[in-house]
Amino acid sequence: MRIGVIGSGALGLFYGGLLQRAGHDVHFLLRRDYQAITSSGLKVTSPRGDFHLQQVKGYRNNTEIGPVDLVLIGLKAYANQSLIELVRPLVADETTILTLQNGLGNEELLATAFTAKQIVGGVAFLCCNRGEPGTVHHLDQGSIRIAEFAQKPGNRLEALCKTFNQADIPCTTGTDLTRIRWEKLVWNIPFNGLCALTGLPTNQLLSCPETRQLITEIMQEVIAAANRQGLSEAIDATAIIEPML
């Protein structure tokens, strides 16, 4: 499969690197890491085993990549003002566009420029950081969950999921993309906000009874908001909160 990665930060480099290691033809749009990766390759450290891709196809200009079978988007959502033009040169009639960005509205934005049926959404549960240029440190987890944006799940979604699983990226599929995105927000909203506000890591927030209770209450509020969105099935707070703590 010919794959283009837009947003080659820790997530894009890690998943793209695994896909290349599995034999796929992966093309990375790069900024900070361009010189290091094009000269020395991509190095990944991981509890699952380190690896070094010595030859990586990296570009500074997205027009040089050309049409691909799959566009993998890891771009931070705050840069979405550039998303359409970054993706456009990579898209042909049969291209699948997969966004693993956090938040809401990413698929809707893509649908203003591309055929809605080309779009797949997903969330990543990944703890991964960039190190020095050309290096990514995978610390924990790494699974993704994907769903169709504008059509019923079918062979394409299952084939895409199989591609990820065969590349050592645990992947599952769902039928309600909105629900999947809100489930991720149940974690993101309390931890992102409180970590930024307090300057503390998640483990310290959870070790304090007061902040742990606050996290639980924020999660309950997010779930209440989610369940007002017309989900196919309501999110069960008792089932989802405890595993996140």
Active site residues: 184
Length of the chain: 245
State both tokens at 175: 């039928």
Non-local CB neighbours of 204 within 8 Å, separated by 6+ positions = none
Residue 52: C-alpha distances to residues 121, 147, 206 (Å): 29, 31, 35
Instruction: For residue 217, give the amino acid letter.
Output: E
Distance between terminal CA atoms of the chain?
A: 38
Q: Is 76 helix (H, G, I), strand (E, B) or coil?
A: coil
Contact 134, 13 (CB under 8 A): no
Give the integer Cα–Cα distance in Å for 63 and 55: 20
Per the structure block, which two tokens stand in for 103?
């938040």
